[in-house]
Structure 1
Amino acid sequence: MSNAATETRSVVVEREFPFAPEKLWRALTQPHLIEEWLMKNDFKPAVGHQFSLRGDWGRVLDCEVLAIEPNKTLSYTWNHVHDDAAYNLKSVVTFTLTPTSAGTHLRVEQAGFRSDQPQAFGGAKFGWQKFLENLGQLLARPD
Protein backbone atom coordinates (compact mmCIF):
# COMPACT_ATOMS: atom_id res chain seq x y z
CA MET A 1 0.00 0.00 0.00
CA SER A 2 1.43 3.40 -0.92
CA ASN A 3 1.47 6.37 1.36
CA ALA A 4 0.90 9.65 -0.51
CA ALA A 5 3.01 11.56 2.00
CA THR A 6 6.11 9.47 1.29
CA GLU A 7 5.64 8.96 -2.44
CA THR A 8 8.01 11.08 -4.47
CA ARG A 9 8.22 12.20 -8.07
CA SER A 10 11.16 12.83 -10.35
CA VAL A 11 11.93 15.52 -12.89
CA VAL A 12 13.64 13.98 -15.92
CA VAL A 13 15.16 16.09 -18.70
CA GLU A 14 16.94 14.48 -21.63
CA ARG A 15 18.97 16.04 -24.39
CA GLU A 16 21.32 15.03 -27.19
CA PHE A 17 24.61 16.91 -27.52
CA PRO A 18 26.87 16.69 -30.59
CA PHE A 19 29.93 16.24 -28.37
CA ALA A 20 31.86 13.31 -26.91
CA PRO A 21 30.97 12.15 -23.36
CA GLU A 22 34.42 13.33 -22.18
CA LYS A 23 33.58 16.91 -23.13
CA LEU A 24 30.24 16.79 -21.28
CA TRP A 25 31.92 15.12 -18.31
CA ARG A 26 34.37 18.01 -17.96
CA ALA A 27 31.48 20.50 -17.96
CA LEU A 28 29.67 18.44 -15.30
CA THR A 29 32.67 18.01 -12.98
CA GLN A 30 34.99 21.02 -13.26
CA PRO A 31 33.99 23.83 -10.86
CA HIS A 32 34.82 26.73 -13.21
CA LEU A 33 32.71 25.10 -15.95
CA ILE A 34 29.86 24.12 -13.59
CA GLU A 35 29.69 27.79 -12.61
CA GLU A 36 29.13 28.78 -16.24
CA TRP A 37 26.07 26.61 -16.86
CA LEU A 38 24.70 25.83 -13.39
CA MET A 39 25.88 27.86 -10.38
CA LYS A 40 28.87 28.97 -8.33
CA ASN A 41 30.13 25.95 -6.40
CA ASP A 42 32.91 24.24 -4.50
CA PHE A 43 32.42 20.91 -6.24
CA LYS A 44 35.08 18.19 -6.43
CA PRO A 45 34.50 14.96 -8.38
CA ALA A 46 35.09 12.69 -5.38
CA VAL A 47 32.54 10.41 -3.70
CA GLY A 48 31.71 11.78 -0.25
CA HIS A 49 32.80 15.33 -1.11
CA GLN A 50 30.38 17.88 0.36
CA PHE A 51 29.71 21.08 -1.53
CA SER A 52 27.20 23.83 -2.05
CA LEU A 53 25.76 25.59 -5.08
CA ARG A 54 24.99 29.31 -5.06
CA GLY A 55 22.80 30.98 -7.63
CA ASP A 56 21.05 34.32 -7.87
CA TRP A 57 17.74 32.56 -7.05
CA GLY A 58 19.02 30.78 -3.96
CA ARG A 59 21.43 28.28 -2.53
CA VAL A 60 21.64 24.52 -2.51
CA LEU A 61 23.54 23.48 0.60
CA ASP A 62 24.85 20.23 2.02
CA CYS A 63 25.21 18.56 -1.35
CA GLU A 64 27.22 15.36 -1.30
CA VAL A 65 28.70 13.41 -4.18
CA LEU A 66 27.14 9.93 -4.09
CA ALA A 67 28.46 8.21 -7.21
CA ILE A 68 30.98 8.85 -9.96
CA GLU A 69 31.69 6.74 -12.99
CA PRO A 70 33.84 8.93 -15.25
CA ASN A 71 32.18 9.88 -18.56
CA LYS A 72 29.10 7.82 -17.58
CA THR A 73 27.36 8.68 -14.31
CA LEU A 74 27.42 11.42 -11.71
CA SER A 75 25.04 11.57 -8.77
CA TYR A 76 24.76 13.94 -5.82
CA THR A 77 22.31 15.07 -3.19
CA TRP A 78 20.56 18.38 -3.85
CA ASN A 79 19.10 19.73 -0.63
CA HIS A 80 17.44 23.10 -0.98
CA VAL A 81 16.77 24.83 2.34
CA HIS A 82 14.12 27.52 2.23
CA ASP A 83 12.84 30.05 4.78
CA ASP A 84 9.45 28.37 4.38
CA ALA A 85 9.94 24.74 5.44
CA ALA A 86 7.27 23.60 2.97
CA TYR A 87 9.76 24.41 0.21
CA ASN A 88 12.64 22.45 1.75
CA LEU A 89 13.75 19.79 -0.68
CA LYS A 90 15.84 16.69 -0.14
CA SER A 91 16.58 15.23 -3.52
CA VAL A 92 19.16 13.41 -5.60
CA VAL A 93 20.34 14.57 -9.01
CA THR A 94 21.76 11.94 -11.37
CA PHE A 95 23.45 12.67 -14.69
CA THR A 96 23.69 9.72 -17.09
CA LEU A 97 25.80 10.02 -20.24
CA THR A 98 25.30 7.58 -23.10
CA PRO A 99 27.46 7.77 -26.23
CA THR A 100 25.48 7.96 -29.49
CA SER A 101 26.54 7.96 -33.13
CA ALA A 102 26.10 11.75 -33.14
CA GLY A 103 27.62 12.56 -29.73
CA THR A 104 26.15 12.03 -26.28
CA HIS A 105 22.69 11.52 -24.84
CA LEU A 106 22.43 13.22 -21.44
CA ARG A 107 19.71 12.24 -19.00
CA VAL A 108 19.25 14.37 -15.89
CA GLU A 109 16.97 13.06 -13.15
CA GLN A 110 16.16 14.93 -9.97
CA ALA A 111 14.34 12.53 -7.65
CA GLY A 112 12.65 13.20 -4.33
CA PHE A 113 9.84 15.71 -4.86
CA ARG A 114 6.97 15.13 -2.44
CA SER A 115 3.43 15.37 -3.77
CA ASP A 116 2.93 18.52 -1.66
CA GLN A 117 5.78 20.31 -3.49
CA PRO A 118 4.26 21.26 -6.86
CA GLN A 119 6.15 24.60 -6.92
CA ALA A 120 9.52 22.93 -6.36
CA PHE A 121 8.69 20.28 -8.96
CA GLY A 122 7.64 22.89 -11.54
CA GLY A 123 10.66 25.05 -10.74
CA ALA A 124 13.03 22.14 -11.23
CA LYS A 125 11.38 21.15 -14.51
CA PHE A 126 11.85 24.69 -15.81
CA GLY A 127 15.27 25.08 -14.20
CA TRP A 128 16.87 21.98 -15.70
CA GLN A 129 15.66 22.91 -19.19
CA LYS A 130 17.36 26.29 -18.75
CA PHE A 131 20.53 24.77 -17.23
CA LEU A 132 20.85 22.36 -20.17
CA GLU A 133 20.42 25.24 -22.63
CA ASN A 134 23.29 26.98 -20.83
CA LEU A 135 25.30 23.75 -20.96
CA GLY A 136 24.73 23.47 -24.71
CA GLN A 137 25.95 27.03 -25.22
CA LEU A 138 29.03 26.38 -23.09
CA LEU A 139 29.87 23.19 -24.99
CA ALA A 140 29.41 24.89 -28.37
CA ARG A 141 32.09 27.46 -27.61
CA PRO A 142 35.53 26.70 -29.04
CA ASP A 143 37.85 25.16 -26.42
Structure 2
Amino acid sequence: MTVSEDVSREIVCECELDAPPETVWRAVTIPEFLEEWMGIRPDENRDDDISCEIIDQSPGSQVRFAWHDGRTDVPYSVVTIDIEPALENRTRFRLSHSEGPRMRAANDNGPALRLAA
Protein backbone atom coordinates (compact mmCIF):
# COMPACT_ATOMS: atom_id res chain seq x y z
CA MET A 1 0.00 0.00 0.00
CA THR A 2 1.28 3.46 -0.89
CA VAL A 3 0.24 6.53 1.03
CA SER A 4 0.39 9.81 -0.84
CA GLU A 5 1.84 12.83 0.92
CA ASP A 6 -0.68 14.96 -1.01
CA VAL A 7 -3.68 13.59 0.92
CA SER A 8 -5.84 16.51 1.97
CA ARG A 9 -6.15 16.87 5.70
CA GLU A 10 -9.10 19.23 5.61
CA ILE A 11 -12.66 19.11 6.87
CA VAL A 12 -15.14 21.37 5.08
CA CYS A 13 -18.64 22.33 6.16
CA GLU A 14 -20.87 24.43 3.90
CA CYS A 15 -24.37 25.67 4.54
CA GLU A 16 -26.74 28.54 3.95
CA LEU A 17 -27.69 30.62 6.98
CA ASP A 18 -30.92 32.50 7.54
CA ALA A 19 -29.13 35.75 8.42
CA PRO A 20 -27.60 38.59 6.41
CA PRO A 21 -23.83 38.48 5.76
CA GLU A 22 -23.21 41.47 8.06
CA THR A 23 -24.71 39.60 11.03
CA VAL A 24 -22.73 36.45 10.27
CA TRP A 25 -19.52 38.48 9.89
CA ARG A 26 -20.02 40.01 13.33
CA ALA A 27 -20.65 36.56 14.82
CA VAL A 28 -17.34 35.20 13.52
CA THR A 29 -15.14 38.22 14.24
CA ILE A 30 -16.31 39.76 17.53
CA PRO A 31 -14.53 37.88 20.35
CA GLU A 32 -17.55 37.72 22.69
CA PHE A 33 -19.74 36.16 20.00
CA LEU A 34 -17.00 33.89 18.70
CA GLU A 35 -16.35 32.52 22.18
CA GLU A 36 -19.95 31.28 22.37
CA TRP A 37 -19.48 28.70 19.63
CA MET A 38 -15.69 28.14 19.51
CA GLY A 39 -15.19 27.94 23.27
CA ILE A 40 -12.22 30.28 23.17
CA ARG A 41 -11.61 33.94 22.42
CA PRO A 42 -8.96 34.83 19.85
CA ASP A 43 -5.68 35.83 21.52
CA GLU A 44 -6.83 34.42 24.88
CA ASN A 45 -4.18 32.65 26.97
CA ARG A 46 -5.62 29.64 28.77
CA ASP A 47 -4.27 27.29 31.40
CA ASP A 48 -4.40 24.34 28.99
CA ASP A 49 -1.96 26.09 26.60
CA ILE A 50 -4.42 26.19 23.71
CA SER A 51 -4.56 29.49 21.89
CA CYS A 52 -6.33 30.85 18.85
CA GLU A 53 -5.38 33.92 16.86
CA ILE A 54 -6.74 35.69 13.80
CA ILE A 55 -4.00 35.45 11.18
CA ASP A 56 -5.74 37.02 8.21
CA GLN A 57 -9.04 38.55 7.20
CA SER A 58 -10.77 40.16 4.26
CA PRO A 59 -13.42 42.27 5.97
CA GLY A 60 -16.92 41.03 5.28
CA SER A 61 -15.91 37.88 3.43
CA GLN A 62 -13.13 35.77 5.01
CA VAL A 63 -11.36 35.28 8.34
CA ARG A 64 -8.59 32.77 9.17
CA PHE A 65 -7.64 31.50 12.63
CA ALA A 66 -4.51 29.63 13.68
CA TRP A 67 -4.74 27.17 16.56
CA HIS A 68 -1.62 26.61 18.68
CA ASP A 69 -0.90 24.15 21.45
CA GLY A 70 1.45 26.39 23.45
CA ARG A 71 4.58 24.34 22.84
CA THR A 72 5.39 25.81 19.44
CA ASP A 73 4.73 28.88 17.32
CA VAL A 74 3.76 26.69 14.38
CA PRO A 75 -0.05 26.33 14.23
CA TYR A 76 -1.33 22.77 14.45
CA SER A 77 -4.44 23.70 12.50
CA VAL A 78 -5.99 26.57 10.58
CA VAL A 79 -9.70 27.38 10.40
CA THR A 80 -10.91 29.48 7.46
CA ILE A 81 -14.41 30.94 7.38
CA ASP A 82 -15.80 32.29 4.10
CA ILE A 83 -19.10 34.13 3.90
CA GLU A 84 -20.92 35.52 0.88
CA PRO A 85 -24.38 36.89 0.19
CA ALA A 86 -27.13 34.51 -0.90
CA LEU A 87 -30.66 35.17 -2.09
CA GLU A 88 -33.33 36.62 0.20
CA ASN A 89 -30.92 38.22 2.70
CA ARG A 90 -29.27 34.89 3.55
CA THR A 91 -25.58 33.93 3.77
CA ARG A 92 -23.52 31.14 2.22
CA PHE A 93 -21.21 29.95 5.00
CA ARG A 94 -18.13 27.78 4.45
CA LEU A 95 -15.84 26.61 7.25
CA SER A 96 -12.70 24.66 6.44
CA HIS A 97 -10.47 23.19 9.13
CA SER A 98 -7.07 22.08 7.88
CA GLU A 99 -4.09 20.57 9.57
CA GLY A 100 -1.04 22.79 9.90
CA PRO A 101 2.42 21.81 8.71
CA ARG A 102 3.74 18.61 10.20
CA MET A 103 6.83 18.87 12.35
CA ARG A 104 9.61 16.35 11.71
CA ALA A 105 10.90 14.52 14.72
CA ALA A 106 14.50 15.29 15.66
CA ASN A 107 15.23 11.56 15.67
CA ASP A 108 13.51 10.59 12.42
CA ASN A 109 16.59 8.75 11.11
CA GLY A 110 17.02 11.27 8.32
CA PRO A 111 20.29 11.49 6.36
CA ALA A 112 22.30 13.14 9.16
CA LEU A 113 21.53 10.40 11.69
CA ARG A 114 22.18 7.62 9.18
CA LEU A 115 25.63 9.05 8.51
CA ALA A 116 26.36 9.15 12.23
CA ALA A 117 25.69 5.41 12.65
Same fold (TM over 0.5): yes
Indicate conservation of the 8 Å contact 2:77/2:99, yes or no.
yes
Higher share in helix: 1
| Segments of 4+ moved more than 4 angstroms | 2-8
Which residue does the alignment assign to 1:86?
none
- Counterpart of 1:60, as a letter, is I
Aligned positions of 1:39-54 closer than 5 A: 39-41=39-41, 43=42, 51-52=43-44
| Residues 68 and 19 of structure 1, relative CA distance in 2, 3 Å threshold | same
Which residue does the alignment assign to 2:80?
94
SS in 1 for 2:50: strand
TM-score computed with the length of structure 1 as normaliser: 0.54
Higher share in strand: 1
Q: Count residues with an aligned counterpart.
A: 95
TM-score computed with the length of structure 2 as normaliser: 0.65
Unaligned 5+ segments in structure 2 are 102-117
Unaligned 5+ segments in structure 1 are 44-50, 83-88, 115-143
Indicate conservation of the 8 Å contact 1:52/1:59, yes or no.
no
Q: Distance in 2 between matches of 1:100 and 1:40?
A: 29
Indicate conservation of the 8 Å contact 2:64/2:79, yes or no.
yes
Which residue does the alignment assign to 2:33?
33
SS in 1 for 2:13: strand
Q: Structure 1 residue 76: deviation in Å?
A: 1.5
Which residue does the alignment assign to 2:67?
78
The structure with the largest alpha-carbon Rg is 2
Instruction: Let me know the Cα RMSD of the aligned residues.
Output: 3.0
| Residues 59 and 105 of structure 1, relative CA distance in 2, 3 Å threshold | farther
Q: Distance in 1 between matches of 2:11 and 2:44?
A: 20
Which residue does the alignment assign to 1:108?
95
Q: Structure 1 residue 59: deviation in Å?
A: 6.1
SS in 1 for 2:9: strand
